[in-house]
Amino acid sequence: MKITPGSSATKILGVYGDQWLKVSISAAPEKGKANKELIRFLSKAIQVPSKNLMIVSGETSPMKIIEIDCANNLDKLNELLNRMTTLKLS
């Protein structure tokens, strides 16, 4: 994911490059606030508990890799992947 912290709103903007989802985050990039908001936002957006989301790379970078544990619901994961691949950068 390509994250833009300190934005006016938290929302998915679309696809960045060939493989990155671009997300704006309203929280400031300090003391983990933007990361926490990102996890909360994604949890709500994809309806997966926040405990099932983890930043595995990019804690202090705008480029992040997020691990989504939804092994108990593969249909939800497939639906999520299909929605992400149809987004266009706005």
Predicted local distance difference test score (pLDDT) of residue 84: 62
Predicted local distance difference test score (pLDDT) of residue 73: 66
Q: Which residues contact 30 (CB under 8 A, 6 or more apart)?
A: none
According to DSSP, residue 39 is labeled H
What are the chain's domains? 2-85 (3.30.1200.10)
Predicted local distance difference test score (pLDDT) of residue 86: 57
Count of CB atoms situated within 10 Å of the CB of 44 = 11
Predicted local distance difference test score (pLDDT) of residue 46: 79
Low-confidence ranges of the chain (pLDDT < 70): 71-73, 77, 80-81, 83-90
The β-bridge partners of 63 are 2
